[in-house]
Amino acid sequence: MMYNTAFQPRRRRRFPILSIIILLIILGGIGFFVYKWQTGNVINVDTGATLFIDECTGYVHVHASTSTNQVVLQGLGGIFVPSSHAQDSDTIIINGCDLDMTVPASINLKINADEIDVFGVSGQMNLTTNGGSIILVQDTLKGKSVLDNNGGPTIFQGSIDSSANSTPTFSSNGGSLDISLPNDASFHLKIAGIVDTLTTNFPGVAVTDTSGPDANVGVSPQATLTLDVNGSSVILHKG
């Protein structure tokens, strides 16, 4: 019996360099993802900027941070959310939903979402839900702020800028308003529409007169606080 004893070269593994490149790309992608998850999606903003979020069928949670020029979208939901700068304005448009973000303590907000929470922010706020909750804690409303729950609950525990050009409005169509202001709050109260029930411990505001007239609380200068309601229950208290 004869055997083929001729030298047979060992077959080389094909494309080892390509495999290494693919592995490096995968590892780089994982590293980038982990970095973004840890640091968040950072958006640089100018002083006096307005954050604009529209048509969010989910939640937006906003917390003040120590940064004066950065908005950070946190968590998996905010890593790759796109943003843009509106032309000829200081408005930053964020095209996302289900967001948990930190913002400068002084910033303006314009948000339309199913659920909105804001903690520790001072600025002009236009917040709208369609029957969802609006919760603000340790915030200061400035300028022509409007909180409109369209039938949902609004809870506000904060302050309103007492300057004469401050005209915050709480709007509710059949929902509820629970507003807690500091003991030394100064405002001119206007009621537009019909209040279902009014509970208050502010002197000079009549509990039984749920459709007006206007009332003055505190000393000048005074903000104009408007309750634009339709059959809504209102709690307006100090402390």
**CA distance linking residue 199 with residue 81, whole number of Å:** 42
Residue 21 falls inside a structural domain: no
Residue 135 falls inside a structural domain: yes
Q: In degrees rounded to 5, what are phi and psi of residue 34?
A: -65, -40
| pLDDT higher than 60, residue 23 | no
Angle at 156 between CA 174 and CA 53, to 5 degrees: 80
Q: What is the pLDDT of residue 117?
A: 98
Name the residue range of residue 197's domain.
41-238
The burial class, CB within 10 Å (0-12 / 13-18 / 19+), for 221 is middle
Number of domains in the chain: 1
Q: Which pLDDT band holds residue 142 (cuts at 50, 70, 90)?
A: very high
Residue 120 falls inside a structural domain: yes
Residue 90 falls inside a structural domain: yes
Residue 11 falls inside a structural domain: no
Q: Which pLDDT band holds residue 206 (cuts at 50, 70, 90)?
A: confident
Residue 9 falls inside a structural domain: no
Residue 13 falls inside a structural domain: no
Query: Helices then strands (H, E): number in the chain?
Result: 1, 17
| pLDDT higher than 60, residue 36 | no
Least confident of 12-16, 35-39, 119-123: 35-39
Higher pLDDT, 33 or 84: 84
139 is written with which tokens? 């915030």
pTM of this prediction?
Answer: 0.83
Residue 213 falls inside a structural domain: yes
Q: Which pLDDT band holds residue 97 (cuts at 50, 70, 90)?
A: very high
Least confident of 74-83, 88-97, 106-115, 189-198: 74-83
Least confident of 80-94, 110-124, 126-140, 202-216: 202-216
Angle at 167 between CA 164 and CA 64, to 5 degrees: 105
